[in-house]
Amino acid sequence: MEIEYFLNAVYYSMNERYIRQGRFLGRIVDIVVFFVIRYCTPTNLRNKWLTRLQDPNNQKIVDDVLYGSESGLSLVYCDYYFAYFCASYAMFLAWVLYSIIERYVSISFIAIASTVLVLGYIPCHMTVYRKNKYIKYFKQFKKKDASWHRKWRWVTIGFMLGGIFISILGFLYYAHNHRYKI
């Protein structure tokens, strides 16, 4: 499997997950806001706010701002976590390199970690964000069937748990080589 396809599919699945979470939380907020507007505001404001809330044009604008595939807030949220999980695999390498290099040269962990993180983030940036490649993949992935989406949800969960696990494993490797008690 091609790394570009893999990273874009994971990014797409993460974004879809955050959109589902946002819509679920949005329904809860809508219920609370509707209750507050209905029972805690004066009648003249209540009618104006309720008509604005129920206007489909306003809902389309809100959906585009929150969940748009080119510049929605769900993408901003997803970018942060996608970069974190991609970098977590590089952190394993940083801990291992630090435990090896520290024996011979006095160097700070931050120097090694920042170098490794930058080098680890470059493939993610080149395959997903450069020239907005993810938009082309998003259009392609939206046409896939439900079994494909289900499969990639599980792959994405595995990618995220693997990133957490490998980061912890790298730290434990460092701690074991330096005889620290955890």
Could you read off the pLDDT of 57-95 as tens digits, one per residue? 776 766 666 666 666 667 777 777 888 888 888 888 888
CB neighbour class for 174 (10 Å; exposed up to 12, middle 13-18, buried from 19): buried
Please state, in angstroms and rounded to a whole number, the distance separating the CA atoms of residues 68 and 61: 9
Could you read off the pLDDT of 117-173 as tens digits, one per residue? 777 778 777 887 788 788 888 888 888 888 998 999 999 999 889 988 888 888 887
DSSP three-state, residue 103 = coil
Q: What's residue 155's pLDDT? A: 92
Q: Highest mean pLDDT: which of 9-18, 26-35, 155-164?
A: 155-164
C-alpha distance from residue 51 to each of 42, 48, 64 (Å): 14, 5, 20
Q: What's residue 180's pLDDT? A: 53
Q: What's residue 23's pLDDT? A: 76
Q: How many CB atoms lie within 10 A of CB 43?
A: 7
Rounded to two decimals, the pTM is: 0.73
Mean pLDDT of 26-35: 77
CA angle 91, 95, 96 (to 5 degrees): 115
Q: What's residue 72's pLDDT? A: 66
Mean pLDDT of 93-99: 79
Could you read off the pLDDT of 34-43 as tens digits, one per residue? 777 777 777 7
Q: What's residue 154's pLDDT? A: 93
Q: What's residue 97's pLDDT? A: 78
Please report, for the chain, the start and end positions of each structural domain, with discontinuous segments joined by +. Answer: 3-177
Please state, in angstroms and rounded to a whole number, the distance separating the CA atoms of residues 134 and 140: 10
